[in-house]
Amino acid sequence: MTADEVWQAIREETKKRAEAEPVLASFFHTTVLEHDSFSSTLANQLANDLSNASVQPMMLRSVMKEAIKSKAEMITNIAEDLIATKERDPACKYFSTPLLFYKGFKALQAYKVSHWLWTNERHTLALFIQSRCSEVYGVDIHPAAQIGKGVMIDHGTGVVIGETSVVDDNVSIFQGVTLGGTGKETGDRHPKVKEGVLLSAACTILGNVEIGKNAKVGAGSVVLSDVKEGTTVAGVPAKEVGKSGKTSPADEVDHNIYKN
Ligand SMILES: CC(C)(COP(=O)(O)OP(=O)(O)OC[C@H]1O[C@@H](n2cnc3c(N)ncnc32)[C@H](O)[C@@H]1OP(=O)(O)O)[C@@H](O)C(=O)NCCC(=O)NCCS
């Protein structure tokens, strides 16, 4: 599916949802149906969520739109995150659900805007967005962190991703995950998470350690050293408890939006 096809699906779903639930008809109208593009609806929602008494939605909306339109791959990457969430979360039946209701998805897209601001030397506004995401969504991602596409942050609550973290494509991250420093290092001090990794609920990964491709980290584990590709680790401190194999535990299905 292309990003445009995802947007068309969102519109069709939303029309049906508005008819089926009259109480939310005006909500569906203002969030989706009155917009002419995926970027417009997303920018509008993020701006409404993240504005406050001092920074009006209108100001944030134009920044969000500018960021989302800054390069062509931005909207395709956003669509890949949305597809990843629908494909991997069995509770997610519609493309419109993460866009309207999932704070993990929305926080990840707000991070993309803050990262764009950060790389364009607009650090203060980037930090404002980080801070508002933390307050509103309970997700705290430093704008300098590097996060790929096809990433799912499920539930979102309590996720913390530090400044020098790198998260590759097609990673799944559950609530309460910390990618943090040990407190003993400076500079490049945060984890590097390779493609296809599953970071289970409330796992804590500390230091500049590498979580190898397609690895699984068990719920509640504390990881303090490198995790080999294709292994499952669990416990405190985490130890190898099995093999996760060659395929991605984060993504059992093909959600590649370019497959057509
Ligand atoms: C790690 C995990 C992915 C399972 O991987 P798996 O390869 O299927 O591992 P198994 O279930 O076969 O367990 C292997 C061993 O690790 C242990 N183990 C598994 N998960 C563990 C965890 N989180 N903490 C401590 N030990 C754990 C098992 O007890 C088992 O030990 P044993 O060999 O002594 O019996 C899973 O246990 C897990 O943590 N899932 C969390 C998913 C999640 O975050 N869900 C939130 C949805 S809201």
| Domain boundary, last residue among 74, 107, 138 | 138
Do 93 and 123 lie in one domain? The reply is yes
Residue 4: pLDDT over 50: yes
Residue 258: pLDDT over 60: no
258 part of a folded domain: no
> What would the two tokens of residue 24 be?
């939310």
Residue 171: closest CA among 197, 133, 202, 200: 197
CATH number of the domain within which 201 lies: 2.160.10.10
Residue 259 has a pLDDT of 28
Contact 107, 115 (CB under 8 A): no
Poorest-pLDDT segment among 2-11, 32-41, 194-203, 239-248: 239-248
Do 97 and 171 lie in one domain? The reply is no
Do 47 and 112 lie in one domain? The reply is yes
Do 149 and 134 lie in one domain? The reply is no
Q: Whose CA is nearest to atom 42 of ligand 1?
A: 200
Q: Which residue's structure tokens are 């991070």?
A: 111
Split at pLDDT 50, 70, 90, the class of 253 is very low
Q: Please tell me the pTM assigned to this model.
A: 0.94
CATH number of the domain within which 39 lies: 1.10.3130.10
> What would the two tokens of residue 123 be?
């650090």
Distance 87 CA to ligand 1 centre (A): 22
Do 99 and 213 lie in one domain? The reply is no
- Which region holds residue 214: left if phi is over 0, alpha if psi is between -120 and 50, else beta? left
157 part of a folded domain: yes
> What would the two tokens of residue 251 be?
């993504």
Residue 88 has a pLDDT of 95
Do 8 and 130 lie in one domain? The reply is yes
| Domain boundary, last residue among 90, 106, 138 | 138
φ and ψ at residue 16, rounded to 5 degrees: -65, -40
Do 40 and 106 lie in one domain? The reply is yes
35 CB-near residues (< 8 Å, 6+ apart): 41, 44
Residue 250 has a pLDDT of 80
> What would the two tokens of residue 44 be?
């509008």
Contact 217, 226 (CB under 8 A): no
Mean pLDDT of 119-126: 98
| Domain boundary, last residue among 92, 112, 138 | 138
Which ligand 1 atom sits nearest the alpha carbon of residue 242? 7
Split at pLDDT 50, 70, 90, the class of 249 is confident
207-238 pLDDT tens trace? 999 999 999 999 999 999 999 999 999 999 99
Residue 172 CB less than 6 A away from ligand 1: no
137-192 pLDDT tens trace? 999 999 999 999 999 999 999 999 999 999 999 999 999 999 999 999 999 999 99
Query: Residue 80 belongs to what domain range?
Result: 1-138
Do 33 and 13 lie in one domain? The reply is yes
- Give the total number of structural domains in the chain: 2
Residue 257: pLDDT over 50: no
Residue 127 CB less than 6 A away from ligand 1: no
> What would the two tokens of residue 115 be?
């990262």
Residues counted in the chain:
260
Contact 78, 42 (CB under 8 A): yes
> Percentage of the chain with pLDDT > 70?
96
Residue 216 CB less than 6 A away from ligand 1: yes
